[in-house]
């Protein structure tokens, strides 16, 4: 089986590969601007059929109660993706513009392997808890708390890490006993549609349990949030869109999981190795062209060392040239689209208007006339009040901000509508720990520690979201609690 062999992807509804009722739409290679092929263009009726299939599969089959089948199917999906990992790698590099080196981790292989965590969790999970006998209101009663699937999940996903985010929703939601309708981003339809091919050919998932609806129309995702047949929305994307999802879901009081934007701070204390910390901050901002919600794009450094930090960050970024993502040495590939490149350039222009300067970068690389590339850029001379220091840019752009001690550094880091992630570098372990504990964020890296893992929950405070993905907490997002009280004679 060659994945997407004819350059055309299909919808996956009720166990069948189908054409889109609205025709097709192109998917573009962001590094070359060439059309890779086409994806099925769904309309509202297609989405309705997918929701109906998921509803029937949940209500009329034993999927939600058959843990053994669910575990087997999720493992089959993992194994089949492993078997096709090289094809998936090339597809991901071409459609996402993901650097090849990242496909060995969070862009592909990591998420595929993480399906095993979802299956293992379902297999070992304690689904029922016996509270024992009691006499509430004087009536002898035995109480059991049971955990069961929420129902039909509408999963709406972005383009920046499509496999990671698609599978971080599908794995736990399916292992927990739900059925799913996945609406992926229009920019990366193939990374989602290929799952339909694999599921159909290599797994025992019953029809309707997984449905994949591709479309260039963002409003189809809103149908999932509004439809009363859908029990929960799991959304990853911008805070503005997440706000709309909440509004749409409110009409039917749906359960909502939201993983939204970030403007995370990399805090350097005055006893840290400034050069090392500043270089690491700059390098991480360039990974996948800065297209990651948890990337620390504010470098907060001691005022006395500000110029040195800017110089180190600029030297690091200047050494990283935007390149072909298919090359093994590329760190910074293209942005996903011309629209996104123009958006990032708009923020760079704004930085100058706000009084900032570029220590490196600032626009399109002269050597890259084709492709949606932006130079890695260091912005200096702005305070945390500037829009470029407060708003999510989603590009290889680092703003360096001065602080006047630990309390001021914490204040700056927390002075954001977001609270997704953060980093602290310092030499004194107790001091670093105190600063990390004060950051109002969902994940913190201390001196280079890595929080990304299948067994660790990920999510944010404030306008960075509601709930957690991955880990046991991410699995339990897709469960409801039921208390069963039986009278004892």
Instruction: Read off the pLDDT of residues 422-437 as tens digits, 9 standing for 90 and up.
Output: 999 999 999 999 999 9
> What confidence score (pLDDT) does residue 489 get?
83
Instruction: Find the helix or strand (DSSP H, E) in which 126 lies.
Output: none
> What confidence score (pLDDT) does residue 239 get?
96
What Rg do the C-alpha atoms of the chain give, in angstroms? 23
Say yes or no: domain 8-260+464-486 is CATH 3.40.50.1970. no
Confidence bin at 179 (pLDDT 50/70/90): very high
User: How far is the C-alpha of 460 from the C-alpha of 272, rounded, in Å?
Assistant: 26
Task: State the catalytic residues.
Answer: 259
Domain ranges, ordered by start, for the chain: 8-260+464-486, 265-446
Nearby residues of 147 by Cβ (< 8 Å), 6 or more positions away: 125, 127, 128, 476, 479, 480, 481, 482
Nearby residues of 463 by Cβ (< 8 Å), 6 or more positions away: 239, 260, 261, 417, 418, 419
The predicted model gives 397-425 an average pLDDT of 98
User: How far is the C-alpha of 456 from the C-alpha of 28, rounded, in Å?
Assistant: 34
User: How far is the C-alpha of 448 from the C-alpha of 80, rounded, in Å?
Assistant: 34
* Closest alpha carbon to 252 in 176, 148, 145, 151: 151
Nearby residues of 80 by Cβ (< 8 Å), 6 or more positions away: 198, 201, 202, 203
C-alpha dist (Å) from residue 128 to 173, 475, 481: 18, 16, 10
C-alpha dist (Å) from residue 290 to 6, 233, 285, 465: 32, 27, 5, 20
**Residue 53 in contact with residue 229, Cβ under 8 Å?**
no
**Residue 62 in contact with residue 217, Cβ under 8 Å?**
no
Q: How many C-alpha atoms does 157 have within 13 Å on its Cβ side?
A: 29
Confidence bin at 1 (pLDDT 50/70/90): low
Q: What is the dihedral of CA 125, 128, 129, 132, to 10 degrees?
A: -150
Measured in residues, the chain has a length of 489
Which residue stretches of 287-441 are H helix? Answer: 306-319, 338-353, 387-390, 406-414, 429-438
| pLDDT, tens digit, 9 for 90 and up, residues 201-231 | 999 999 999 999 999 999 999 999 999 999 9
Beta bridge pairs of residue 26: 38
Q: How many C-alpha atoms does 15 have within 13 Å on its Cβ side?
A: 10
| pLDDT, tens digit, 9 for 90 and up, residues 229-288 | 999 999 999 999 999 999 999 999 999 999 999 999 999 999 999 999 999 999 999 999
Nearby residues of 60 by Cβ (< 8 Å), 6 or more positions away: none
Asked whether residue 176 carries a pLDDT value surpassing 70, the answer given is yes
Asked whether residue 416 carries a pLDDT value surpassing 90, the answer given is yes
Asked whether residue 438 carries a pLDDT value surpassing 70, the answer given is yes
Pick the CATH number of 265-446 from 3.40.50.720, 3.40.309.10, 3.40.50.920, 1.20.1290.10: 3.40.309.10
Q: How many CB atoms lie within 10 A of CB 297?
A: 26
* Arithmetic mean of pLDDT over the chain: 97
* Closest alpha carbon to 167 in 95, 245, 234: 234
Asked whether residue 2 carries a pLDDT value surpassing 90, the answer given is no
The predicted model gives 299-325 an average pLDDT of 98
Q: Over the range 212-241, which residues count as b (16 or more CB within 10 Å of their CB) and which as e?
A: bbbbbbeebbbbbbbbebbbbbbbbbebeb
User: How far is the C-alpha of 452 from the C-alpha of 454, rounded, in Å?
Assistant: 7
| pLDDT, tens digit, 9 for 90 and up, residues 184-200 | 999 999 999 999 999 99
**Residue 330 in contact with residue 99, Cβ under 8 Å?**
yes
Asked whether residue 137 carries a pLDDT value surpassing 60, the answer given is yes
> What confidence score (pLDDT) does residue 261 get?
97
Asked whether residue 351 carries a pLDDT value surpassing 90, the answer given is yes
- Residue for token pair 């963002």: 218
The predicted model gives 39-66 an average pLDDT of 98
> What confidence score (pLDDT) does residue 458 get?
98
pTM of the full structure = 0.97
Could you give the maximum distance between any two Cα atoms of the chain, in Å? 83
Asked whether residue 181 carries a pLDDT value surpassing 90, the answer given is yes
* Closest alpha carbon to 172 in 250, 214, 105, 232: 232
């Amino acid at each position: 089986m060659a994945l997407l062999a004819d350059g055309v992807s299909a919808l996956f509804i009720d166990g069948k590969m189908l054409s889109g009722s609205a025709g097709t739409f192109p998917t573009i290679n962001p590094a070359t601007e060439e059309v890779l092929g086409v994806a099925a263009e769904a309309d509202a009726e297609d989405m309705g059929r997918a929701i109906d299939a998921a509803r029937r599969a949940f209500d009329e089959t034993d999927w939600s109660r058959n843990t053994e089948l669910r575990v087997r199917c999720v493992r089959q999906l993992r194994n089949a993706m492993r078997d096709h990992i090289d094809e998936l790698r090339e597809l991901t590099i071409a459609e996402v513009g993901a650097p090849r080196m990242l496909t060995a981790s969070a862009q592909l292989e990591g998420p595929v392997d993480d399906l095993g965590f979802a299956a293992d969790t379902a297999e070992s999970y304690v689904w029922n808890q016996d509270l024992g006998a009691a006499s509430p209101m004087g009536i002898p009663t035995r109480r059991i708390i049971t955990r069961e699937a929420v129902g039909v999940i509408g999963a709406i996903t972005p383009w920046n890490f499509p496999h990671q985010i698609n599978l971080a929703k599908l794995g736990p939601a399916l292992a927990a006993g739900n059925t799913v309708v996945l609406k992926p981003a229009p920019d990366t339809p193939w990374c989602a549609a290929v799952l339909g091919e694999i599921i159909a050919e290599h797994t025992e998932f019953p029809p309707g349990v997984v449905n994949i609806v591709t479309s260039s129309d963002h409003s189809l995702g809103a149908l999932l949030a509004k439809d009363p047949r859908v029990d929960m929305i799991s959304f990853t994307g911008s805070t503005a869109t997440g706000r709309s999802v909440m509004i749409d879901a409110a009409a039917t009081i749906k359960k909502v999981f939201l993983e939204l934007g970030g403007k995370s701070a990399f805090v350097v204390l005055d006893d840290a190795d400034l050069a090392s910390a500043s270089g690491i901050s700059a390098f991480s901002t360039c990974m996948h062209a800065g297209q990651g919600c948890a990337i620390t794009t504010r470098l907060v450094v001691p005022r006395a060392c500000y110029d040195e930090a800017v110089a180190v960050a600029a030297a690091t970024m200047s050494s990283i040239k935007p390149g072909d993502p298919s090359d093994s040495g590329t760190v910074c590939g293209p942005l996903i689209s011309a629209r996104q490149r123009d958006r990032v350039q708009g923020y760079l222009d704004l930085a100058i208007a706000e009084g900032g300067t570029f220590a490196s970068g600032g626009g399109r690389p002269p050597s890259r006339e084709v492709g949606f590339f932006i130079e890695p850029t260091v912005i200096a001379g702005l305070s945390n009040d500037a829009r470029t220091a407060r708003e999510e840019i989603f590009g290889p752009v680092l703003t360096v901000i001065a602080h006047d001690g630990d309390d001021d550094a914490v204040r700056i880091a927390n002075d954001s509508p977001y609270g997704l992630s953060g980093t602290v570098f310092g030499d004194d372990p107790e001091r670093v720990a105190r600063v990390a504990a004060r950051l109002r964020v969902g994940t913190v890296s201390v001196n280079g520690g890595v929080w990304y893992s299948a067994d660790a929950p990920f999510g944010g405070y404030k306008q960075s979201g509601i709930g957690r993905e991955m880990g046991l907490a991410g699995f339990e997002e897709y469960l409801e609690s039921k208390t069963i009280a039986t009278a004892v004679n």
